[in-house]
């Protein structure tokens, strides 16, 4: 559930990932060994020293669609493009399996909070760091990105502001390789401004709205990582990354990384046919199939992605009334969904009870609404939605809601369970599947749904997601595609974002989460169990948990 995951997280919406869905009904199998470990305690990437790896090789991965927008900072970007960009773009911090941060010294020799009144952060850029055309990476790139994401110019169609709306100025430091950021308001997640999914882009991309919005629609030219784009074949649905000849860090072990567009139903067959090297496990049947493929290992670490259902509460919509959304939320048996879907893939299936944190994170609390269909029915009665046959009506409108999702068996299974839940209280759910291509731009972003499903994914910086997804400003939706919010939630978000004490920030984040449940913004469903099928000889790649990959160290064992 992505794009758009954390002792903290950054939200990125994904059309589909391996949610860990299994056939509904009784289960005679056992959960995979190791699947009970919580996020933040482990990862499973087949670690090897680079001396154990052969030089060269092609890592083959799958996508559900070519990126509709290669600028991950843009509102049209989907979650999959972030995965394509990670081997190519600068970020300030690396994370380990526990979510601990260290400066990525390939790009910055130091990143320091030097003052709190006013808050100041100093980025010192690696002297060797250059863009793929040889142009130095400088403080001007940071200043340009800060201006683009500030929100001062609405012509920049930003996905989120990463706290740059609180920045007063970005100045040159001791030389062109140092940037000093001064805030006019505190920003709690300051380490995430140029980390997680906050890739640093060159000023040629962020300098003008025209460049920001349009220059990366068809591809990306300037990059700054160990890999760069070698080719994009739209006819074949294929992207190939090759080694960046201007890269100043350790030489990658791989020659290329290839992404091929496939329907999700073709992922496991492609693994069987030796066409791709890694795929998320989506069903218990997929797990059994993958376990039988010679030379394939199952890597397991709980995932930092989660599925959810978003309501469309826009003015005039069928679900505009928060009372209706809350009643519907109470009628959804989230524990029943988790049990039916993840039985056999995790040892103790549990629904996700937070919009902010995932299970295993510091700060996680189950703030979810109770499953109470009888109460839901009474609340709909009180709101004037009366049963007429099998479906409720009010003022000539029937409570028939259209559930939009990517056309994948796993999403349809979830929707069918919800369909049965809601039929019990007189709400009819119509399942409306869509292709991966244009899913967000044609359906979710314009609000072409009553309820919709996708995956949220994140990183270790949780607070910056709050304004992106849960603040409501009709003139700046960012990731609040359901158009649901309240002034009280907006004010609490501002308070949390200004809190530099981590414990107090966690307390505020949970207050916000409870308010989000109370207005029926959306319904978190399940956290991914993080089971992946990977070529056994592929090293330093697999189920990373909270950890980030070092793309120079991924490769095939000799």
* Cβ atoms of residues 63 and 406 within 8 Å: no
pLDDT of 28 > 90? The answer is: no
Q: 294 and 157 in one domain?
A: no
pLDDT, average across residues 303-324: 94
pLDDT, average across residues 115-121: 96
Element spanning 147, H or E: helix 139-149
Q: 369 and 496 in one domain?
A: yes
Q: 302-338: string of b/e by CB count within 10 Å (b at 16+)?
A: bbbbbbbbbbbbbeebbbebbebbbbbbbbbbbebbb
Q: What distances in angstroms separate CA 413 from CA 124, 331, 406, 434, one per listed residue?
A: 50, 17, 12, 15
Model pLDDT, residue 192 = 92
pLDDT, average across residues 463-483: 90
pLDDT, average across residues 454-466: 83
List the beta strands (DSSP E) in 458-530: 522-527
69 lies in some domain: no
CATH for 181:
3.90.76.10
pLDDT classification of 9: cutoffs 50, 70, 90: very low
pLDDT of 231 > 80? The answer is: yes
Q: 351 and 244 in one domain?
A: no
Q: 329 and 297 in one domain?
A: no
Model pLDDT, residue 39 = 66
82 lies in some domain: no
**Mean pLDDT across the chain, nearest whole number?**
90
User: Which of 192, 215, 238 finishes a domain?
Assistant: 215
Is the Cα dihedral 299, 305, 308, 312 positive or negative? negative
* Cβ atoms of residues 120 and 114 within 8 Å: yes
Q: 96 and 207 in one domain?
A: yes
Is the Cα dihedral 15, 301, 348, 289 positive or negative? positive
For residue 90, give both structure tokens: 């600068």
Q: 454 and 482 in one domain?
A: yes
Which residue has 């994140």 as its token pair?
Answer: 458
User: Which of 193, 215, 237 finishes a domain?
Assistant: 215
Q: For residue 236, what are the domain limits? A: 50-64+226-301+530-557
Radius of gyration of the chain from its Cα atoms, rounded to whole angstroms: 23
Q: How many CB atoms lie within 10 A of CB 369?
A: 20
Q: 458 and 366 in one domain?
A: yes
pLDDT digits (tens, 9 = 90+) for 522-537: 999 998 888 899 999 9
* Cβ atoms of residues 312 and 451 within 8 Å: yes
CATH for 429:
3.10.105.10
Q: 454 and 338 in one domain?
A: yes
Percent of the chain at pLDDT > 70 equals 92
230 lies in some domain: yes
364 lies in some domain: yes
Model pLDDT, residue 221 = 93
Q: 419 and 363 in one domain?
A: yes
Contact residues for 439 (Cβ-Cβ < 8 A; gap 6+)? 15, 65, 78, 406, 454
81 lies in some domain: no
Model pLDDT, residue 284 = 84
pLDDT of 29 > 70? The answer is: no
6 lies in some domain: no
Entry pTM: 0.80
Model pLDDT, residue 160 = 84
Model pLDDT, residue 282 = 73
pLDDT digits (tens, 9 = 90+) for 94-106: 998 877 899 999 9
pLDDT digits (tens, 9 = 90+) for 539-552: 999 999 888 999 99
Q: 316 and 296 in one domain?
A: no
pLDDT, average across residues 128-139: 98
Is the Cα dihedral 25, 30, 34, 37 positive or negative? positive
pLDDT classification of 5: cutoffs 50, 70, 90: very low
pLDDT of 324 > 90? The answer is: yes
Q: 285 and 181 in one domain?
A: no
84 lies in some domain: no
Number of domains in the chain: 3
Q: What angle do CA 84, 524, 404 make, to 5 degrees?
A: 70
* Cβ atoms of residues 64 and 15 within 8 Å: yes
pLDDT digits (tens, 9 = 90+) for 258-277: 999 998 889 999 999 999 99
15 lies in some domain: no
Q: How many CB atoms lie within 10 A of CB 371?
A: 17
Q: 230 and 209 in one domain?
A: no
């Amino acid at each position: 559930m992505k794009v758009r995951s954390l002792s903290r997280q950054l939200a990125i919406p994904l059309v589909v990932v391996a949610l860990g869905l299994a056939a509904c009904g009784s289960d005679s199998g056992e959960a995979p060994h190791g699947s009970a470990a919580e996020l933040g305690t482990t990862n499973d990437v087949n670690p090897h020293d680079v001396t154990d790896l052969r030089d060269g090789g092609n890592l083959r991965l799958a996508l559900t669609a070519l990126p509709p927008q290669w600028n991950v900072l843009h509102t049209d970007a989907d979650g999959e493009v972030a995965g394509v960009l990670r081997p190519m773009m600068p970020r300030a911090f690396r994370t380990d399996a526990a979510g601990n941060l260290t400066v990525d010294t390939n790009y910055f020799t130091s990143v320091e909070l030097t003052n709190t009144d006013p808050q100041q952060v100093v980025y010192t850029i690696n002297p060797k760091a250059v863009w793929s055309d040889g142009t130095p990476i400088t403080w001007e790139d940071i200043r340009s990105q800060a201006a683009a994401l500030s929100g001062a110019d609405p012509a920049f169609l930003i996905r989120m502001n990463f706290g740059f709306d609180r920045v007063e100025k970005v100045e040159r430091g001791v030389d062109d390789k140092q940037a000093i950021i001064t805030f006019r308001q505190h920003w709690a997640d300051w380490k995430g401004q140029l980390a997680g999914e906050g890739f640093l882009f060159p000023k040629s991309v962020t300098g003008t709205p025209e460049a920001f919005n349009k220059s990366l629609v068809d591809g990306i030219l300037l990059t700054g990582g160990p890999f760069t784009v070698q080719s994009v074949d739209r006819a074949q649905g294929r992207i190939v990354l090759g080694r960046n000849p201007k890269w100043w860090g350790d030489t990658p072990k791989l020659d290329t990384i290839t992404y091929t567009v496939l329907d999700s139903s073709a992922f496991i067959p492609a693994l069987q046919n030796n066409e791709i090297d890694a795929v998320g496990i989506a069903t218990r049947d997929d797990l059994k199939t993958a376990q039988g493929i010679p030379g394939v290992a199952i890597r397991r670490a709980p995932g930092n992605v989660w599925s959810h259902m978003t309501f469309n509460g826009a003015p005039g919509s069928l679900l505009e009334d928060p009372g209706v959304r809350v009643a519907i939320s109470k009628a959804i048996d989230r524990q029943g969904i988790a049990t039916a879907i993840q039985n056999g893939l995790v040892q103790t299936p549990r629904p996700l009870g937070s919009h902010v944190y995932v299970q295993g994170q510091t700060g996680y609390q189950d703030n979810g609404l109770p499953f109470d269909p009888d109460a839901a029915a009474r609340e709909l009665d009180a709101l004037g939605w009366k049963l007429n046959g099998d479906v409720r009506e009010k003022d000539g409108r029937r409570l028939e809601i259209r559930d939009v999702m990517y056309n994948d068996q796993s999403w349809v299974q979830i929707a069918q369970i919800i369909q049965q839940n809601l039929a019990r209280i007189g709400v009819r759910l119509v399942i409306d599947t869509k292709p991966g291509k244009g899913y967000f731009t044609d359906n979710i972003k314009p609000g072409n749904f009553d309820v919709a499903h996708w995956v949220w994914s994140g990183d270790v910086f949780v607070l910056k997601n709050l304004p992106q997804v849960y603040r409501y400003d009709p003139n700046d939706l960012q990731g609040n595609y359901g158009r649901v919010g309240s002034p009280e939630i907006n004010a609490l978000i501002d308070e949390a974002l200004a809190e530099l004490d981590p414990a107090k920030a966690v307390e505020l984040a949970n207050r916000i989460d409870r308010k989000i449940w109370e207005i029926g913004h959306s319904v978190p469903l399940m956290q991914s169990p993080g089971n992946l099928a990977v070529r056994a000889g592929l090293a330093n790649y697999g189920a990373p948990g909270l950890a980030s990959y070092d793309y120079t160290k991924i490769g095939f064992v000799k």
